[in-house]
Structure 1
Amino acid sequence: MYILKLCQGELSTNVGLFHTIEEGREFISQLHGYHYEVIEGFEYEYFDPAYIPDYVELKYNGHIVPFTTFMFTGDGKVDIYWDEIVNLSIPGNGMIEGATRVDAYSIPNDELKDYIEKREYNYICVKEYLESKGHDVERAYFGSEDGEAILYTDPDEWHLLTHMDPEFVESEDILKDLDI
């Protein structure tokens, strides 16, 4: 199931829940100014709130959902996001489908445990190696756009070594790959 979420700047509004994204698109495409594009393999959906009347009703599956131009700030397009959600009230068969955010990256749920273990293992290897060479080591930039990173001192100045991104995790020999 998917939640239709409308985002404009810091403003975010959950609209409704749909069994499929296609059902949701059928609903939201009733809005004037709705756009769906695929650019370099990435899907983008949005609408221009300037095309929304003062008041309009979108009808879908016996529901009436009111919209108004006053729902939005008027500062540019409104992005459309589809958040997948699992109905945990229905019996399952193991790992839920989907992905989990780790820093700035989405990792498939069925790979998440191995990803985290490998990421932390690689961090410990780098940290222990750098500390054995007399460097102070810190993790930094948690929650940043590029994700968490490893910093070290040389001798009193801090340097960025690497972000702990999927490439960092996939490394079979992190010390060799980082050339340290």
Structure 2
Amino acid sequence: MGVAEDRLRVRFGLLDANSDGVLEQRDFETLVERVIAASGAGERSPEAVAARTAALGYWQGLREHADSDNDGVVDIDEFTAVVHDQEAFDRYVRPYAEATAALADGDNDGQVQRDRYLAIVKASGFPSEAVETVFAGFDAEGSERLTRSGWIDIVEGFYTRRGAHFTDRLSGPDPGSPHGADR
């Protein structure tokens, strides 16, 4: 298995919250509840409600777009066939990315504090070291902040890039590279 296939499996595995080898609605429900808990937002806050709605929309869009055999779940092959589709990202992943960015922006100033970013992204299943490395790449000035749009850029880069991209570091280190994942 090549590096690109490994990256796709990592992406799939992050969404497969119950690790049963297929994506289904309960995976997205579990994932969003982890993210809400890590954000520190109240369970009934407008941001939490929006995140749940966006997670359900993400699942429904993915299922409609990828479930080629209409069995109600998305397996790794179905996921791999559509994961790089920019139009699909814009329709059903971007709203989820925007909702999680809003959760992370606790004071609604358009900025995500480092600690909230780390907590939420780690709760999503990413390795701690990789999460910190990617944040540092976006926080070149050392402000300990990331804009909401920067958050969305990270998500988009991770889920839509076919080739190597700095967000591949979120998949964990590539044993063949002294700097983390293949760039």
Same fold, TM-score > 0.5, yes or no: no
TM-score class, shorter: under 0.3
Structure with greater helix share of residues? 2
For the pair shown, the structure with the greater C-alpha radius of gyration is 1
Structure with greater strand share of residues? 1
Higher relative contact order (CA closer than 8 Å, sequence separation 6+): 2
